[in-house]
Every structure is written in structure tokens, then in C-alpha cells.
Amino acid sequence: MKILIVEDEPSLNKSIADYLGKQQYLCEASSNFADALDKIECYEYDCIVLDIGLPDGNGLQLLQTLKANHKMDGVIIISARNELDDKIKGMELGADDYLTKPFHLPELSVRIAAIIRRKNQQGSNKLSFNEILIDVLAKQVYVHQKNLILTRKEFDLLLYFMVNKNRVLSKNAIASHLWGDDMDMVGNYDFIYTHIKNLRKKLMVAGTPDYLQSVYGMGYKFSGI
């Protein structure tokens, strides 16, 4: 899976590349418009992480070029501007998603995964981890080939954990993934705990090991021990 990260802030570019690089993605970094244009025209990417505000051009122009060349690359825009107009414009030009800075890296990762799943429609709507299998399209979870009934929030949570497996996920990131940025509930994470507790219980009853570890003072980690 190849991903192009177009972001002019080198530090952020590197963080994204590092994070995604550890998830079996092949990341290429580009820090300006001209370089990004070259890369887009020469190669095919599964997903492009695109910053709109570049020093030598507008990211939206890159989108237009992509569309003009009939490229199928998935695009997620990351922008400092939380303007509805920018969002609508980006979507109209063919972007698949829009994320406002600052964002949580696991959130970016889960959105990229969703874009890639949508792009490759040949039966890869399934995600598996050991004995757990998620059919994303049908919103079904199977453990040992047996259907596991989860609530919507628990399903979202499991998907989020599986995409970001082996990663420490802060409660903050989990909360904003499940409830969005509008629910400003900083400091009150009891409700996350309830969902995680329920999910863990259901998984273990279905016969999985305890994949969900709590990381002291920070959050949770989904890993195969």
C-alpha cells in the first residue's frame, strides 16, 4: 500500500510517515507543490494525504490535476482551515475525506484505511486479526467464524483498535473518534471505560485472548500480546 504525504511542515510530515510506516504502508513524503505534482503524475498511490496550504501552491490544484488525469488515488485533505467552504470544495473536487488540524494520528490512520477499503472494492472490505474478522461493509464481526453481536459504538471501537493495532491510543483520541470533536468531554472518560469494558467482555466470552490492554495513565492498546 503506497501513501503520499504532501505536507510542508517537515516535523508533521515525518510524524505521519513514521506512524503510518509502522502499519505496513509504504510512505513517501513531499513537502512542496512542484514535487508533489511530479510524484502524482509519475506514480500511483493508494491514498494521498494532502495539505491544502502549500508554500508554492494550493493543494486543491493537485486534486484538480488528479481528476484531470483520471487517477483513482484516494485523497484525504488535512487543513488548518476548518472552513465549510474548503471542505465542500475539496469534496467536490474528488477528495474522499477532510481532517482539520490538529488531528490524532490514529484517526488519520483509520480514515486512510477506510478510503483504501472503499477504493479496492474487490472483496477487501474485510479486516482480520487472528481469530477476529470484521466485515466492514456489512458491519458484522466474526470470532472463530461465529457472528458476534456488538453495538454500533463497540463496532466502531473494535474497528478503530484493529486498524491501529499495537498502538497506544489515548483516551482523548478514542473519545474524539467515537463522539466527534463537538462532544467536548475532556476529563470525563468514564463512558469510554464502559464501552471498552463491554467490548472486552464480549470478545473474551466469544473466545479471544484479552487483546485490549489498558495503558496506565494514558489509554488503551490492542495487541496480540
Residues in the site for another protein, rule: CB under 8 A?
9, 11-12, 15-16, 18-19, 22, 78, 80-82, 84, 100-106, 153, 167-168, 170, 172-173, 179, 181-188, 190-191, 194, 215-219
**Which of residues 22 and 144 has its CB atom nearest to another protein in the complex?**
22
CB of residue 156 vs another protein: minimum separation in angstroms? 13
Cα dihedral 13/14/16/17 (nearest 10)? 110
CB of residue 90 vs another protein: minimum separation in angstroms? 16
CB of residue 102 vs another protein: minimum separation in angstroms? 4
> Can you list the alpha helix ranges (DSSP code H) found in 83-207?
84-92, 105-119, 152-163, 171-179, 190-205
Long-range contacts of 140-145 (CB under 8 A, 24+ apart): 143/203, 143/206, 143/207, 143/208, 144/206, 144/207
**Which of residues 129 and 189 has its CB atom nearest to another protein in the complex?**
189
CB of residue 50 vs another protein: minimum separation in angstroms? 14
CB of residue 150 vs another protein: minimum separation in angstroms? 14
**Which of residues 13 and 208 has its CB atom nearest to another protein in the complex?**
13
Q: Can you say whether the dihedral through the CA atoms of 58, 177, 48, 164 is positive or negative? A: positive
Q: Which three cell numbers stand for residue 94?
A: 474528488
Amino acid at 9: E
**Which of residues 92 and 181 has its CB atom nearest to another protein in the complex?**
181
Residue 13 host element (H or E): helix 10-21
**Which of residues 26 and 215 has its CB atom nearest to another protein in the complex?**
215
